[in-house]
Structure 1
Amino acid sequence: MSFFKKALGAVGIGAAKVDTLLDYHQFAPGEEISGTVKINGGKVAQEINKIDLKVMCTYTVERENSEGESETFTKQHTLAKFRINERFTIEPGDEKHIPFAFELDLETPITVGESQTWIATNLDIDMALDKSDRDYIRVVPTELQQAVIDAMEELGFKLYESDCEGIEEASFSRLPFVQELEFKTNAGEFHGRFDEVELVFFNRGEQLEVIFEIDRKARGLRGFFAEALDLDESKARLEVDEDNLEDLEDLIFELLEDNC
């Protein structure tokens, strides 16, 4: 092997390439992600030290700039890490397949609005640039999350926006953000009574905790001043499990009615 080829491999030119092949591209939080990491040898033999797989997502934070104006920034967060500790040498022209499987974190945000989630694969090659691959996945609601969304729609609400917003450290979440699902009414008993209702989901295994933030519609002069002073919002909490799914629509109706 020529010195020139070795030098090129050391700086990543003609180096091994990695491609992650997922068995599926749609998952619910808590489900298993499985697939295969495919590695193709480059122009020189190279030693692979390890392979790192990360579940990544995006969220936004608001900060004031130097002029005192609010600006929105997009940040990335690592939801989970999975390491393949297999050290081997990939020869020129060789192809190696390494299967993997791990569980998607229960707190993974669902893919609505601008939320993005992906699997980042990093190939650690000795004396070379790290090789990486990115595979986007679609995260769908769990059974309990979907039941809540369906119940809201039956009550005349429509999911129109979702944001993963950065938060300060809080005991109720280990993540630096929460995902807010924003609903507006377009029909039904509550049409015209609320500006919007925001939901935050916390998956607790077999139980789903739902936080409702209810923005009441301003009515008359008193309502106008309440809205101007941010006094027209209230929060409520609901625990959902298999035992109360049949009564879920009625439970949410009562919760909203109590906060009108």
Structure 2
Amino acid sequence: MVFKKLLGAFGVGGPTVDTVLATPSVQPGGLIQGQVNLVGGTQEAKISGITLTLVARVEIEHSEGESDGLASFARYSVSPPLILAAGERCSVPFAVPAPYETPVTSVAGQHLHGMSLGVRTEVEISGARDKGDVDPLGVEPLPLQRQVLEAFAALGFRFHSADLESGHIRGTGQSLPFYQEIEYLAGPQYAHLFKALELTFLAAADRVEVVLELDRRSSDVINHHVLDRSSAGQDLTAVVDGWIQQALAHGGHGHGSHGHGSGGALLAGAAVGVVGGLVLEEIMDEVVEEAFEEIFED
């Protein structure tokens, strides 16, 4: 679905923008490609630049509970200054990378309820900036991520929900100011030991970090693991089962293992903790909010 909005910041008769994604779905680290189509208004416009911003709806905890806001996590300038004549049509092609830590929004074409990501187009004319065009972005998992998700499914775990949490997971290579939590209800063989499990992926070019948090009745159990490219294409069901067994055996904040979980501790104290905060935009842009609601709300 494409949103075409009048650039209200420039008044009646101003130019319009319509961003079309040639790749409405990508993988982390992949290229987001498309073009920004501009149509001149009733008079000439001097465009200082066009910026694409990747945005996501993120939950943040505070003293009064939880609320959500819009977080931008990557910005790309895709056009030099240009002059758009009255009524002129202009297309600006682009190809920008999705960060490797970009959260997954769908698996096998099925949208993960609770995930809202988009590409926002900002056009600046004579010092005025308009954020008037937002397009939804789908993100499918990397092969290693997909293999881990398939392993949980094979073990009888059932997807429950997904969201983005502000903060940082200590002891990891996390670079974005938020992280994704994918929650599964425990498989039948584990239901008597814990109720649910939260999974976080922190991907990089050569590896995928996996943080597991088991929701036990007495306390949470957290383990950290790393898969490198050598694991690609392999059935990870036994590996993931081993991770869970290891977490249950430790019964507390666990260390990590490398590759298939057979190595020693990767990081000491790989416990999950939220430190610092995420500065969210104080007021979610109405255009972005309406777009997200129309796209992602059931």
Query: What's the TM-score once normalised by structure 1's chain length?
Result: 0.82
> What does 1:217-228 align with in structure 2 at a 5 Å threshold?
218=217, 227=218
Structure 2 partner of 1:255: 243
In 2, the alpha carbon distance for the partners of 1:62 and 1:255 equals 29
> What does 1:104-123 align with in structure 2 at a 5 Å threshold?
104-111=98-105, 112-123=112-123
Which residue among 89, 92, 113 is the counterpart of 2:86?
Answer: 92
Structure with the higher fraction of residues in strand conformation: 1
Q: What displacement does 1:186 show?
A: 4.3
Query: What's the TM-score once normalised by structure 2's chain length?
Result: 0.72
Which string of whole-angstrom CA distances, capped at 9 and with x for unpartnered residues, describes residues 80-106 of structure 1? 111034222211111001111011111
Equivalent residue letter for 2:137: I
Equivalent residue letter for 2:139: V
Specify every segment of 5 or more residues in structure 2 that has no aligned partner in the other structure, as ranges. 1-7, 106-111, 249-298
- Secondary structure, aligned partner of 2:103: coil
Residues 169/13 of structure 1: CA separation in 2 closer, same or farther (3 Å cut): farther
Higher radius of gyration, 1 or 2: 1
- Secondary structure, aligned partner of 2:230: helix
In 2, the alpha carbon distance for the partners of 1:141 and 1:33 equals 15
CA RMSD of aligned residues (A): 2.1
Residues 158, 186 of structure 2: 8 Å contact kept: yes
Q: Does 1:73 align with 2:67?
A: yes
- Secondary structure, aligned partner of 1:15: coil
Residues 124, 131 of structure 1: 8 Å contact kept: no
In 1, the alpha carbon distance for the partners of 2:238 and 2:72 equals 37
Q: What displacement does 1:258 show?
A: 2.8
Structure 1 partner of 2:154: 154
Structure 2 partner of 1:235: 222
Residues 162, 180 of structure 2: 8 Å contact kept: yes
Residues 120, 131 of structure 2: 8 Å contact kept: no
In 1, the alpha carbon distance for the partners of 2:166 and 2:90 equals 40
Structure 2 partner of 1:51: 50
Q: What displacement does 1:244 show?
A: 2.9
In 1, the alpha carbon distance for the partners of 2:97 and 2:220 equals 37
Between Structure 1 and Structure 2, how many residues are aligned?
Answer: 233
- Secondary structure, aligned partner of 1:194: coil
- Work out the percentage of aligned pairs sharing the same amino acid: 27
Residues 127/258 of structure 1: CA separation in 2 closer, same or farther (3 Å cut): closer
Equivalent residue letter for 1:175: L
- Secondary structure, aligned partner of 1:92: coil
Equivalent residue letter for 1:178: Y
